[in-house]
Amino acid sequence: MTESNINIKVKLDAEKVPHQIQWTAEGSSAETEQNAKAMLLAFWDGTDKSALKIDLWTKEMMTDEMADFYFQVFMTMADTFQRATRQEGLANDIKKFASDFHKNFLEKEKSQQ
């Protein structure tokens, strides 16, 4: 059995708001430090039957980037759910939600200009 480490480094400003997020992953194309403006990390606790999560973003993360980020995360979640459960219909429901979410965001942004 092999082992791989994923390392996340978060630099905080004086108010403890993330200023910089960097990460590396052994054995991947991200072996050198990568910068990120936002991150979501979740673990499933099988004992408590609950999700443990970390969500962080820097001040540089723009609203439109956050919407794109969430759209892509929702799509990834749908693909992962389908691979894990073979529930194509439910995975498609997640993808439809993701598309509607992103479309509604773009329409709201356009109406505010």
Give the model confidence (pLDDT) of 74-104 as tens digits.
999 999 999 999 999 999 999 999 999 999 9
Helices (H), 1-113: 63-85, 88-111
What's the rounded mean pLDDT across residues 7-23?
A: 95
Q: How does pLDDT run across 33-64, given as a tens digit for each residue? A: 999 999 999 999 999 999 999 999 999 999 99
State the sign of the Cα–Cα–Cα–Cα dihedral 99, 102, 91, 6.
Answer: positive
The predicted structure's pLDDT at residue 1: 87
Cα→Cα distances 98→27, 69, 112, Å: 31, 11, 21
What pTM was estimated for this model as a whole? Answer: 0.87
**Residue 44 to residue 38: CA distance in whole angstroms:** 21
pLDDT tier, 29 (very low <50, low <70, confident <90, very high otherwise):
confident
CB 74 within 8 A of CB 95: yes
What's the rounded mean pLDDT across residues 2-14?
A: 92
